[in-house]
Structure 1
Amino acid sequence: MDNQKKILVPIAPCFEEIEAITVIDLFRRIGADIIVASILNKSEGLVVKGANGIQIICDKNLEEVIDQDFDMIVCPGGMPGAQYLSDCQILIQRLKKQKEQDKYYAAICAAPFVIFEKHGFLNSQVAGTCHPGFADKLANQTKVNLDVVVSGKCVTSKSAGTAMDFGLQLLRLLYPEQQVLDVLKKLVYTK
């Protein structure tokens, strides 16, 4: 049985590197079909510079893959990277489609507030968490003070410091526990 899952990680300039790369790395280790997609125009290329000066080469431009189906879409934080993602209308439309299809969508750090709260993905039925610097801006009915929150198909996390726990939770939502444990064993991760 092939249980390879298809994951989209959209990347914007000034993204938080740990949040993006941890998720990308974990999904690649477990064998997912993960597409790292730059929100930059195709003419701007595939290299995107993060908030701390680390550059990554994306697999595709978002416009090339936006019509594909994904088991999960994961938005890293970082500022103003999360704001750039929030302002990317084709990404917001794709996230809305993801929610309508009852498939997973996830965000970490500033992204749960800047993207999910702003565009109505967090509400009285869908709770979340975000970076403490934005937490007081989340509506009270949506706010949960945990490192990682799973609310239906919406997954949120606090910050770069919770990236590993966030990434592992995402794996556990899509893959059998034994596959996740195999990845952890190779990483010598014992938490």
Structure 2
Amino acid sequence: MKVAILLANGFETIEGLTVVDVLRRAEIECHTFALEGNEAITSHKIKVQADKNIMDEEIKEYDFLVLPGGLPGSTNLRDSKRVIELVKEFNNKKKWICAICAGPIALGRAEITEGKNVTCYTGFEDQLGNCNYKEELVVVDGNIITGRGPAAAIPFAFEILSKISEEKAEKIKKAMLLK
């Protein structure tokens, strides 16, 4: 299983990098993909060197697509034609699509939330499309995993890991003293 994490300028540090941290602890193949060039700057002005660029066609071979929140990171994801194309393609192939905080607004723009149970950061519900909005930290519906905000970063990352390996998720939770 391979996981692609999309890093747009203005992404929320904890939401993007927690997923990378948890998955790499579990030795899951995961790469960050920048929307511009090969780096992104977080919403807290931290410069992050991405592994790859979103235009790399290899991204289509991945099994999971992860969209962190943060501003203006989420709007940069939502407004990227390439991101919307990838979200639609992953959805059509029933691959995993994971978005946290304001990140799910890109799922609304891609029109894949119709009738789905979805969560997001308070105040962005109106950009999710015709979905069933839930006020829970993490929501899973079919091939879509959504998280509510920064406090959901660790549970969101572990939900993604559990879809790859429950055994590895339990092992890493224990190693991180999460239990």
Q: Deviations over 1:14-57 (max 9, x none)?
A: 100000000011111111111101000xxxx4221100111211
The correspondence for 2:178, drawn from 165, 185, 189, is 189
Shift of 1:92: 1.2
- The amino acid across from 1:187 in the alignment is M
1:53 aligns with 2:45: yes
- Determine the structure 2 residue equivalent to 1:88: 80
Provide the secondary structure at the position in 1 that maps to 2:70.
coil
Contact 2:10–2:72 (8 Å) recurs in 1: yes
Contact 1:66–1:91 (8 Å) recurs in 2: no
Residues 20-35 of structure 1 mapped to structure 2, 5 A cutoff: 20-35=16-31
Contact 2:60–2:86 (8 Å) recurs in 1: no
Residues 39-188 of structure 1 mapped to structure 2, 5 A cutoff: 39-40=35-36, 45-65=37-57, 67-112=59-104, 114-124=105-115, 126-135=116-125, 138=128, 141-175=131-165, 177-188=166-177
Distance (Å, rounded) in 1 between the aligned partners of 2:35 and 2:89? 18
CA RMSD of aligned residues (A): 1.5
Distance (Å, rounded) in 2 between the aligned partners of 1:95 and 1:106? 10
Distance (Å, rounded) in 2 between the aligned partners of 1:108 and 1:54? 19
State the aligned residue count: 179
Contact 2:108–2:127 (8 Å) recurs in 1: no
Provide the secondary structure at the position in 1 that maps to 2:61.
coil
Provide the secondary structure at the position in 2 that maps to 1:48.
strand
Give unmatched runs, 5+ long, in structure 1.
none
Give percent identity, aligned residues only: 28
| Bigger Rg, which one | 1
Give unmatched runs, 5+ long, in structure 2.
none
Q: Classify 1:97/1:138 alpha carbon distance in 2 versus 1 (closer, same or farther; 3 Å).
A: closer
Contact 2:113–2:130 (8 Å) recurs in 1: no
Distance (Å, rounded) in 1 between the aligned partners of 2:126 and 2:54? 31
Distance (Å, rounded) in 2 between the aligned partners of 1:178 and 1:159? 26
Q: Classify 1:139/1:65 alpha carbon distance in 2 versus 1 (closer, same or farther; 3 Å).
A: closer
Distance (Å, rounded) in 2 between the aligned partners of 1:90 and 1:140? 23
TM-score by length of 1: 0.88
Distance (Å, rounded) in 2 between the aligned partners of 1:142 and 1:118? 16
